[in-house]
Structure 1
């Protein structure tokens, strides 16, 4: 069934067989994959905007690997030069992508490497000197900027450039770095520019769960608008319908008691039967640390993940959470963007999100594609500005409209799945 489902999308037999052997649980393409894969194989630039948990990574990874199979290696490069670059906003996402892509690529004879930021020239240079060299390099903007400035890497022969979690990468905190990277890449005007393998131009892929107004205008600065295929899900920017949301109006002093009760109830359920894990979101690193001490006092086992930790520590903590060494993770929004939380059953907003975009990302961590547990989000509502956001969410859910302020200039929504 799997081979039949992906055959009509234009994937080669060896790619389909690789997928069947490496991911037998993927039995049929999702709606996002069905629309993205053919367009990418035809040489179109892709803007894919789909709700969290809709399996976007395979939608670009499978055709990406197939395109690389047909392109020659240019061995005359003076410094390392990957054919494909996948740009992600955090080291945890880089590690997660590498863990998915590396076994798929190696079965096709393609090398997938991760470039960590490090703190010195040797720390960056080491992954780039690996042999055989990377066909696909996954990297954060900061690490790539360092490597480009120190002339440790070249983007001249780049044939594919992916911005994953592009809504985060296009935020002002990353935008200057991303603009620099786009300037160093030779983006194709259109599919015709991709036909000369010895004078490569880059095909551009942007993937995200939300997109603000103006994305298309930004892309028009580096590529022809006619070359861009915009692919959106019908539920983009809408309240996640398959995740149950509960809002609890509490005083600030009541939040700890309520959280402890929720976690103890979940722990009892976890011990007596099948149950997923819990994500507890806070708005600051200091709250994560303080709340962790409170849970320690109540003998509630947990892990903590926040942005002030070293990147290598963050990656190790999330891996432990994914493997089930602890079923509760206290975290900031660093865990709400793109990380694979398939086993998460409950998301708790100890601090209510500051924006509707953060609401969408946090809710997207539960009830994901491939999850065997239902998704629930419990939000503690404390401040007047929390109430204002809740009212907007409830109104959007009642009217079945997108959340206000997340409007996108992308068009051509995907058909509803039946």
Structure 2
């Protein structure tokens, strides 16, 4: 960002004291040091060089093959965009753990008032988590904070509780602004504020895309206590009405949840416009499950005096998560998925599962395929209306349907305790996103299972994932002949699903070359049966060749 505009993430530039985040010691960072220092950059734009380096077109071996079409944009700037590469190739891991030996182990000892302690008790929060113990006292003292902790560690309560305590002493609106990268996460954070603020007449507002903009503007004009927003929609509202921007002038707290995503260059322009409306005298709180170059650059350039809490040990998966892969021919990927859903999951007594696809179009096609096969499921991707997305998530959370088909819009932050399994129908292009995906299960000490469908084109992606998480995935072996017994049924359903997609896209299904070609391939494969699976290379019972 241009410094002359006076827009900075933290209120003032503080002197560079010795306090700092533990130095980075990963191969990526060493390579950066060898390449020499780059030009000075504004914190929000940090990582842009890494974006360019990592955005080169992947090789054929790195291309997921299960779904075609544009990648999920998450609606309102929620997708990877140029900043996605920074979340993978530009990763700057750190390790370390803040010493909490002298920190109280109860909410009252952390400085919270009696009524908030009572709320925590009523919600089943008997003791604070590490991130809450490490951050709440510093926030109550008025310090800026960077909190780094694993997903599912209670980061939302770590900033919501002290904000509510400060609000109770001096209630006005807009008191706090929380920015988050996805719509669903914004709704979830708002719900948690509502639960924690029960009894204090808290007024909170969710500002996200996919909802009537005029209605949101009217609600924002009423100056609610807490605004939870995605950057794109909030920036649009502030640009459209100077009065709304003036309403942010007394904002006491700015929170960036999933800060590594919000600091992507994807959101840079939106953040610039939002920060112009905020006062210089504010507390800024950054919370993230992962450490990236953007956060490190921000800490080094602007946050020497901020309180830094670390319970971050690099990207890793849960201890009680069983991680497996199925090596299979790309031609029969849907056949293996059908076998997993109808045979393997019931045998494992899996009650609910999330199936991740690589693109919006691929996710939609899978939802139609499962519908044709008679398997109940809901889909969550940015191609759906916001009302449809929230309805799908609500049905899955309430266990009305056992399967949620999703793109990476659902891989971050969403807390759904009942998820027993995660299936990667398409492997993510970024190894880091694998960790966030499988993190939807095995949460809060529970056990979980993840299985990834790996084709002959995905070997390179698996290697990157295994290198990142520090261990190999176990192979899940299935009898190929048993799996391929359902090939005719699945191919017929896929053909019907393809025709439905073509009709939705306005194609003449009788003349479309793409539809004819797909139909011909499906029928040819179905006729070949087991031979088609075996000939495609490396069946389900065989090991992949690295």
What CA deviation, in whole Å up to 9, does each residue of 1:94-115 have, x standing for no partner?
2111222113224133322222
| 2:439 aligned residue (338, 359, 364) | 364
Structure 1, residues 38-76: CA drift from partner, whole Å, max 9, x if none?
222122211112222222111111111112222353xxx
Distance 2:357 2:449 in 1: 17
Contact 1:276–1:345 under 8 Å retained in 2: yes
Does the 8 Å contact 2:358/2:426 carry over to 1?
A: yes
Distance 1:236 1:35 in 2: 18
Q: CA RMSD in A?
A: 2.4
Q: Does 1:18 align with 2:143?
A: no
Q: Does 1:62 align with 2:161?
A: yes
Q: Given the two structures, how large is their TM-score scaled by the length of structure 1? A: 0.81
Distance 1:120 1:28 in 2: 40
User: Which secondary structure state, in structure 2, belongs to the residue aligned with residue 93 of structure 1?
Assistant: helix
User: What corresponds to 2:137 in structure 1?
Assistant: 38
CA offset at residue 354 of structure 1? 0.6
Q: Is the 8 A contact 1:302 1:327 kept in 2?
A: yes
* SS of residue matched to 2:197: helix
Q: Distance between the aligned counterparts of 1:269 and 1:243, measured in 2?
A: 18
After superposition, give the CA deviation of every residue in 1:318-350 in whole Å (9 maximum; x if it has no partner).
Answer: 111111110101111111111122111100000
Unaligned runs of 5+ in 2: 1-103, 473-546
For residues 267 and 470 of structure 2, the distance between their equivalents in structure 1, rounded to whole angstroms, comes to 35
Matched, 1:156 2:256: no
Find the residue that maps to 2:107 and give its secondary structure.
helix
Which residue does the alignment assign to 2:199?
Answer: 107
- Gaps of at least 5 residues in structure 1 are 74-80, 188-200, 401-418
Relative to the length of structure 2, the TM-score reads 0.63
CA distance in 1, matches of 2:165, 2:344: 44
> Compared with structure 1, are the counterparts of its residues 323 and 28 closer, same or farther at alpha carbon in structure 2 (3 Å cutoff)?
same
Aligned twin of 2:375: 300
Residue 211 (structure 1) aligned to one of 291, 303, 309: 291
How many angstroms apart in 1 are the aligned matches of 2:211 and 2:464?
A: 44
CA contact (8 A) 1:93 1:339 kept: yes
**Between Structure 1 and Structure 2, how many residues are aligned?**
366
Alpha-carbon distance in structure 2 between the residues aligned to 1:263 and 1:313: 24
| Alignment pair present for 1:355 and 2:422 | no
The aligned residue for residue 465 of structure 2 is 393
Which one of 284, 296, 303 corresponds to residue 359 of structure 2? 284
Contact 1:105 1:111 in 2 (8 A): no
Relative distance call for 1:33 and 1:218 in structure 2 (3 A) is: same
Deviates more, 1:40-49 or 1:389-398: 389-398
Is residue 18–residue 107 contact of structure 1 (8 Å, CA) maintained in 2? no
| Match 1:171 to one of 251, 264, 271 | 264
Work out the CA distance in 2 between the residues paired with 1:379 and 1:50.
26
Query: Which whole-Å CA distance do the structure 2 matches of 1:101 and 1:339 have between them?
Result: 15
Residue 182 (structure 2) aligned to one of 90, 94, 102: 90
Q: Do the aligned residues in 2 keep the contact of 1:83 with 1:135 (CA within 8 Å)?
A: yes
Q: Partner residue of 1:136? A: 226
Report if the CA contact (8 A) 2:119-2:198 is conserved: no
- After superposition, the Cα gap between the structure-2 partners of 1:317 and 1:120, relative to the gap in structure 1 and judged at 3 Å, is closer
Choose 232-241 or 307-316, whichever is displaced more: 232-241
Residue of structure 1 in register with 2:386 after alignment: 311
- Is the Cα–Cα contact under 8 Å of residues 260 and 295 in structure 2 kept in the other structure? no
Greater alpha carbon shift after TM alignment, 46-55 vs 260-269 = 260-269
Q: CA contact under 8 A between 2:205 and 2:219: conserved in structure 1?
A: yes
Aligned equivalent of 1:378: 451
Partner of 2:214: 122
- On the 8 A contact 1:347/1:376 being kept in 2, the answer is yes
Q: Once the two structures are superposed, what CA deviation does each residue of 1:229-253 show, in whole Å capped at 9, x if it has no partner?
A: 2222243322433311102222212
Change (3 A) 1:129 1:118: farther
**Residue aligned with 1:66, SS:** helix
How far 1:357 sits from its partner (Å)? 1.6
Matched residues in 2 for 1:327 and 1:119: separation?
27
Q: 2:140 & 2:347 partners in 1: Cα distance? A: 46
Q: Which residue of 1 aligns with 2:515?
A: none
Distance 1:242 1:265 in 2: 23
Residue 344 (1) aligns with residue 419 (2): yes
Residue 254 of structure 1 deviates from its aligned partner by 2.5
Match of 2:228, SS state, is strand
Q: CA 1:163–1:330 in structure 2 vs 1: closer, same or farther (change >3 Å)? A: same
Q: Deviations over 1:98-146 (max 9, x none)?
A: 222113224133322222446765222222244xx41111111122112
Q: Which residue of 2 aligns with 1:258?
A: 336
